[in-house]
Amino acid sequence: MNKKQKKIILIGSFSVGKTSLIRRFVENSFSDKYISTIGMKISKKEIQIKDEILMLLIWDIEGAVNKVKRVNKTYMRGASGVIIVSDISSIGIKEDLILHLEDFYSVNKQDIPAIIAFNKIDKNKDFSIDISDIFDKYPSLLASFKTSAKDSLNVENMFTLLSKEMLKS
Amino acid sequence: MNKEFEKLRELIVQKEIDQLDDIILRVKNIENSQKRDILVKSLSKIIVEILVENINNDENKIYSVVHPFVIKGLKEELNGTNDEISKILGPLISSSIKEQVHKEKDSIVDALYPIMGNMVSKYVTNAFKNMMVEINYKLQDTLSTEIIQRKIKSKIYKISEAELLIKESNFAKVNSIFLIHKESGMLILDAHREDNKKIDEPEMVASMLSAIKSFVNDWISNQDKMSEVSEIEYGNSSILIESAGSVYLAVVIDGKSDFNLQEEISFTLSKVILNHAIEISEYDGDPETIKSNDIIKILSTLFYNKSKNKNKNKLENKFPIFSTILLIFFILTPLSWSGFNSYKEYLIKKAEDSIISLIQKNNIKIYDFKIQTDNKIIEIEGIVLNQNEKDKLNILMLNTNVVNSVDCVNYSFLNQYIKLQLNKILFDYNNKYGSNISYIINNDNKIILKGSIIDINAKNELANYLNKIFKDYKLEFNIKLLPKFKDRIYFEVSSFEISEKYNIILDNIYKLLKIHNSYKIRITGYTDIQGDTLFNKNLSFKRANSVKTELIKRGINKKSIIISFVAAPPNDILDTLTQKNISRCVAFNWEINSSE
Ligand SMILES: Nc1nc2c(ncn2[C@@H]2O[C@H](COP(=O)(O)OP(=O)(O)OP(=O)(O)O)[C@@H](O)[C@H]2O)c(=O)[nH]1
Ligand SMILES: [Mg+2]
């Protein structure tokens, strides 16, 4: 064993496209069917950052159904990086993002890098949102990406940026 | 004046004024409603056109306007008692869950297959079949909004006891060990009994185990606060889980665990932690920060453990067997039955450690020191040699919840006490391993052990044990190791004639007996499972006897040979049905106990 490992988790409400983003990144495929994740699912992918090979263990965690019934936080613990996914065609995006950020940082160190994915951007290319206040509130929030698991937009970029940041720490 | 005028006006024309106001209001209302009517009338003619026009222009915009209402409506429906939606969505969702279970099945089996061995896939498939039946049943029976919200988190089902019985086996053999970082589930390192049994994706196994562990712990903790997953059984193997603060050990064994093995695992883990606490608690996925070789060396001692499973009726002690929908098709045993609880253990250990260091700091020498914890009370036992020390100890333990049962005795009593203990230990030990180890205590109070033993592991076990018990004394080991008889002599069906090809073996045995001439040899005859018992008994005797004759011919004193015979195959034949040819044999062992 001589590869570095890192745990990345994807969180976000149900059906926002967490599983789809991972599938796009790991297997480069996509399906229209919605098969809701139960519990969690773990995938592995090795990527090369400069001259180093990194083994990503990507935890896909079932989406919370509502504000009250949050998911089991123990899955989130010990992550080296997090992607918070939201669906641009849903309502209450900002509120939802904050809930997930709070969940994550309540069990992890404050300096763990995070990225926000505004997913399903293929549905509305003109989508825009101002989240500067969220960036102010969470200093470890690295960036936000408009992604599409369907059209393979920004998925690879997003994972790569997060991985680079994780290697720095 | 003005006031008077006002009053007058009120008296004369107030009624008219009110009426006037009323009239004005009515007129206004009429005007408004007319306008609205006209507006509605004219708009309704074109509203469809507007919509059509807009949809053509910007579908997304309309969609985003309408979407929130649809979602809101849906949510209200879902939360209400109205089950219209359930009826519509039901079939859809049940098929998606089914599909997921199907899909996950393969990837789960794939990921875990290597550690599961052959048997397991069968059990996994079975477990899944049962689960599917359960799910179908559940869905048909109680399709509710809860299920739509994917609340099916756990489910209880039972495997037949018969199936579990098949899996009973006698020896717990450690095959693989994973040291896993608790928080992140990342693999720190893995070790395997044999290199070719290495597991393909140990990192995935580690992550999945951690996920299962969290999943189940979360679930169990709702029922019982004190327990944690300690064992995951599958097929005829188990994964034992021993947790410490920042890491846990997952030990894959063949067969079932028993208390000894569990203790040994916990002991090994504490050894790892003692020496490597900092590097492992700060592990961030970088293998270079870990002294893997050192740790593997410590862990590898577990491969040589061969603890026998004495607890045949373990099934009865078993908790209900759970299965949960995702990857949890295993059978899980919470720990409480074994009286083991990692976190509690950890706290106890901490308390004990601090007492020990307190005693050491104060230079109190306690012989045969024991520390026992029962709930919140800690009791210390042992012997000190003067009253001064005992008083000192009493003062130290004042105001603590430590019960001080340390006795003060004189020197000759201590000596007597040691002898008593040694006698008992060695008696048990010699019985267990067929050895003849004895001791003397010389003038400088040194304990010298002598005698002989066959098994090097047994020798080490004794040394470790005595060093632990008598850590306050000087110990010297003068124990001779006898070589094992590895070879056997095999026979044809119903025959007790020794083939010529065994001459070399017999010659070697002769040489060994000459070298170690103060020891006796035991020759045991065996048969295969065929044939009449009485006949076989006779046959096995004759086999042993003909070997004895051969050895005497070569010049061994017949007093040094003991024979025994069994009308059955040796214990180590695994499959007595297909291995008949190696069942018909004679085996050799040292008979140390009865030697002079
Ligand atoms: N148009 C479009 N659809 C997407 C995209 N990503 C996901 N979807 C669809 O959204 C639905 C939900 O996707 P999943 O990836 O299963 O969602 P999830 O976040 O994993 O959901 P849970 O597991 O229930 O928490 C599926 O029908 C996907 O096909 C995207 O980028 N564009
Ligand atoms: Mg999913």
B182 in A contact zone (CB under 8 Å): yes
- With cut-offs at 50, 70 and 90, classify the pLDDT of residue B137: very low
Q: Are strands B402-408 and B377-384 parallel, antiparallel or unpaired?
A: parallel
- The closest CB to that of A78, out of B96, B153, B184, belongs to B184
Q: By the 8 A CB rule, do A24 and A159 touch? A: no
Amino acid (1-letter code) at residue A153: L
Q: What is the pLDDT of residue A161?
A: 95
Choice among B171-185, B225-239, B333-347, B420-434 with the minimum mean pLDDT:
B333-347
Ligand 1 mutation pick, A9, A10, A11, A19, max ligand atoms within 8 A of CB: A19
Give the tens place of pLDDT for each residue, B507-532.
999 998 888 888 889 999 999 988 88
Q: What is the pLDDT of residue B334?
A: 36
Q: How far apart are CA A122 and CA B589, in angstroms?
A: 78
- Within B117-228, strands assigned E span 154-156, 173-181, 187-192
Sign of CA dihedral B258, B276, A105, A18: negative
Q: By the 8 A CB rule, do B551 and B489 touch? A: no
Ligand 1 mutation pick, A14, A20, A40, A150, max ligand atoms within 8 A of CB: A20
Per-position DSSP letters for B450-463, written without gaps between them: EEEES-HHHHHHHH
A7: nearest CA in chain B?
Answer: B184
> For ligand 1, what atom is nearest to the CA of residue A36?
24
The position carrying tokens 């790991």 is: A26
Q: How far apart are CA B31 and CA B36, in angstroms?
A: 9
Choice among B17-31, B188-202, B239-253, B367-381 with the minimum mean pLDDT:
B17-31
Q: What is the pLDDT of residue B202?
A: 84
Q: For residue A33, give the ligand nearest its CA.
A: 1
All residues of chain B having their beta carbon less than 8 Å from the beta carbon of residue A55 are 203
Specify the DSSP class assigned to residue B336. Answer: G
Sign of CA dihedral B27, B33, B36, B41: negative
> For ligand 1, what atom is nearest to the CA of residue A119?
31
Choice among A69-78, A92-101, B301-310 with the minimum mean pLDDT:
B301-310
B152-155 long-range contacts (CB < 8 A, ≥24 apart) are B152/A38, B152/B97, B152/B325, B153/A38, B153/A39, B153/B219, B153/B324, B153/B325, B154/B219, B154/B322, B154/B323, B154/B324, B154/B325, B154/B328, B155/B131, B155/B322, B155/B323, B155/B324, B155/B325
Q: What is the pLDDT of residue B58?
A: 67
Choice among B74-78, B147-151, B268-272 with the minimum mean pLDDT:
B147-151
Reduced to 3 states (helix: H, G, I; strand: E, B; else coil), residue B40 is helix
Q: What is the pLDDT of residue B464?
A: 87
The residue with greater pLDDT, B106 or A63, is A63
Reduced to 3 states (helix: H, G, I; strand: E, B; else coil), residue B143 is coil
Amino acid (1-letter code) at residue B127: A
Q: What percentage of chain B's residues is helix, strand, coil (to nearest 5)?
A: 55, 20, 25
Mean pLDDT of chain B: 71
Q: ipTM, 2 decimals?
A: 0.88
End-to-end CA distance of chain B: 145
Does A14 sit within 8 Å of B217, measured CB to CB?
no
| Maximum average pLDDT range among B54-58, B310-314, B545-549, B564-568 | B545-549
Amino acid (1-letter code) at residue A159: F
Average pLDDT of the residues in A30-39: 80
∠ at Cα A147 (A100, A114), nearest 5°?
35
Select from A65, A34, A64 the least CA-distant residue to B93. Answer: A34
- With cut-offs at 50, 70 and 90, classify the pLDDT of residue B256: low
What is the phi/psi pair of residue B257, to 5°?
-80, 160
Q: Which helix (H) or strand (E) holds A33?
A: none
Neighbours of ion ligand 2 (CB under 5 A): A 18-19, 37
Q: What is the pLDDT of residue B523?
A: 93
Choosing among A2, A6, A26, A41, which should be mutated to test the B contact, i.e. which has the most B CBs within 10 A? A41
All residues of chain B having their beta carbon less than 8 Å from the beta carbon of residue A37 are 100
The residue with greater pLDDT, B376 or A23, is A23
Beta carbons within 8 Å of B308's beta carbon, 6+ residues apart: B170, B171, B258
Q: How far is the CA of B34 from the centre of ligand 2 (A)?
A: 55
The position carrying tokens 């825009």 is: A128
The residue with greater pLDDT, B24 or A21, is A21
Q: How far is the CA of A19 from the centre of ligand 1 (A)?
A: 7
For residue B264, pLDDT beyond 60: yes
- With cut-offs at 50, 70 and 90, classify the pLDDT of residue B416: confident
Q: List the 256-315 stretch of B: residues with Cβ below 8 A of A.
A: 284-288, 292
Q: By the 8 A CB rule, do B94 and B139 touch? A: yes
Average pLDDT of the residues in B170-193: 85
Residues lining ligand 1, CB < 6 A? A 12, 14-20, 31-34, 36-37, 62-63, 119-120, 122-123, 148-150
The residue with greater pLDDT, B339 or A81, is A81
B68 in A contact zone (CB under 8 Å): yes
For residue B113, pLDDT beyond 70: no
Beta carbons within 8 Å of A134's beta carbon, 6+ residues apart: A94, A97, A98, A101, A116, A141
Average pLDDT of the residues in A3-10: 94
For residue B13, pLDDT beyond 70: no
Mean pLDDT of chain A: 90
Query: Is pTM beyond 0.80 here?
Result: no
The residue with greater pLDDT, A30 or B132, is A30
- With cut-offs at 50, 70 and 90, classify the pLDDT of residue B497: very high
Calculate helix-pair angle for B292-300, B259-281, nearest 10 degrees: 170
Q: How far apart are CA A158 and CA A153, in angstroms?
A: 10
Q: How far is the CA of B70 from the centre of ligand 1 (A)?
A: 18
All residues of chain A having their beta carbon less than 8 Å from the beta carbon of residue B97 are 36, 38
Q: What is the pLDDT of residue B326?
A: 30
- With cut-offs at 50, 70 and 90, classify the pLDDT of residue A46: very high
Q: How far apart are CA B95 and CA B143, in angstroms?
A: 12
Task: Work out the percent of chain B whose per-residue pLDDT is above 70.
Answer: 58
For residue B306, pLDDT beyond 60: no
For residue A64, pLDDT beyond 70: yes
Give the tens place of pLDDT for each residue, A139-148.
999 999 999 9
Q: What is the pLDDT of residue A70?
A: 66
- With cut-offs at 50, 70 and 90, classify the pLDDT of residue B127: very low
Average pLDDT of the residues in B305-328: 36
Q: By the 8 A CB rule, do A36 and B150 touch? A: yes
